[in-house]
Chain A
Amino acid sequence: MTVLRVNIWRGDAQGAYQRFDVPRHASQTVLDVVTYVQRVLDPTLAYRFACRVGMCGSCAMTVNGVARWTCRTHVDRVAREDRLEIAPLRNLPAVRDLVADMSGFFEKWARAGGSFKGARTRRDNFEPIAPQSPARLQVDAGIECIGCAVCYASCDVVAQNPAYLGPAALNRAWTLVNDARDVAGAERLRAVAGDAGCHSCHTQMGCTQHCPKKLSPTAAIAGLKRATAGAWLSGEL
């Protein structure tokens, strides 16, 4: 049986890689590897997962230097010469071992106006939204984000400017800017414009390249730049 040589980060910001030997199997995922280490080799290993099927966004880690969702990443696709190096996500504080502190990431969603604000009550009719309307298509393009923070960890602007809201929060804001029911448009555009907002994006597209859901936060951020420019020109910003 082939053995995987797996180096796993232990500790928080201060720490070191620890070597584990894990039996290799067909169709094995990186999450399978981490789970084997925790259940068989070292129960003190800390990591985070929930659904195991690519829906919850909680198992993202840095695998051989690249941020990935580990539950849907096959070892065959990423192992180099039967070696894996697994670390917590970049650009987030490491809590312990493979667990990154996501609180800053989600606080930025709130700061970017990521909450829906409607004006209708339960006594009003539904807002009719044509599925093929341009705004709804923009929403469709970004709404499947699972909040895994792979984009955030892959973003060099976040690395250089820790205040930067990041691709996921801005992508979320863009889906709400295009939501016909939402009434916080101008307020949200003010929240995403600025030194730490959409104008800081350098369009390097690390987020888009690595998004496991194949979304394009870069396109969403470009949309926000256009929308804020339009709002500026019309005096609404």
Chain B
Amino acid sequence: MNARRETLLWLAQRASAAVLALCVVVHLATMIYAIQGGLSAAEILGRTRGNVGWLAFYTTFVLAIAVHAPIGLRPVLGEWLGWRGASRDAALSALALVLAALGMRAVLGVFT
């Protein structure tokens, strides 16, 4: 057992969950608002492009997901598949990078 690593992961999971709770509410409210108002894709892009505020918000959202999801999958892989150890953590680190890369690609796609 690595007490420091496990405790850090638990803290990161809790902290990212707190960030996600806020981000998900803002994200859902924004989507519902945009659709209710009948905004077109072009109109939405017109508001997001060059907007540093949305860039910062969705960057935070994406990074919180990249932290939260792999840590949550970790016990699932351990308990359901018996997959533990360095190979599992390497795979989950790769997943974190993939989530961050895909998410940031989308964020930058509506910013630039």
Q: Which of B4, B11, B78, B80 contacts A195 (CB 8 A)?
A: B78
Minimum distance in angstroms from A161 CB to a CB of chain B: 6
| Inter-chain CB contacts under 8 Å: number | 49
Asked if B1 and A237 make an inter-chain contact with CB atoms under 8 angstroms apart, the answer reads: no
Bound complex: CA A189 to CA B79 (Å):
23
Interface residues of B in 45-87 (CB under 8 A from A): 75, 78-80, 84
Asked if A225 and B3 make an inter-chain contact with CB atoms under 8 angstroms apart, the answer reads: no
By beta carbon, the residue of chain B nearest A225 is: B10
Asked if B10 and A190 make an inter-chain contact with CB atoms under 8 angstroms apart, the answer reads: no
Interface assignment of A75: CB less than 8 Å from any CB of chain B? no
Minimum distance in angstroms from A112 CB to a CB of chain B: 11
Asked if B78 and A190 make an inter-chain contact with CB atoms under 8 angstroms apart, the answer reads: no
Q: Which residues of A contact B75 (CB under 8 A)?
A: 200, 202
Asked if A237 and B4 make an inter-chain contact with CB atoms under 8 angstroms apart, the answer reads: yes
Q: Which of A191, A200, A202, A232 contacts B7 (CB 8 A)?
A: A232
- Residue-by-residue, is A174-200 near B (CB-CB < 8 Å gives 1, otherwise 0)? 000000000000000111011111011
Interface assignment of B6: CB less than 8 Å from any CB of chain A? yes
Bound complex: CA A200 to CA B9 (Å):
11
Bound complex: CA A231 to CA B10 (Å):
13
A-B contact pairs, 23 of them (CB 8 A): A160-B79, A161-B79, A190-B3, A193-B1, A193-B3, A193-B4, A193-B6, A194-B3, A195-B78, A197-B6, A199-B6, A199-B9, A200-B75, A202-B75, A225-B10, A228-B10, A229-B7, A229-B11, A232-B7, A232-B8, A232-B11, A237-B3, A237-B7
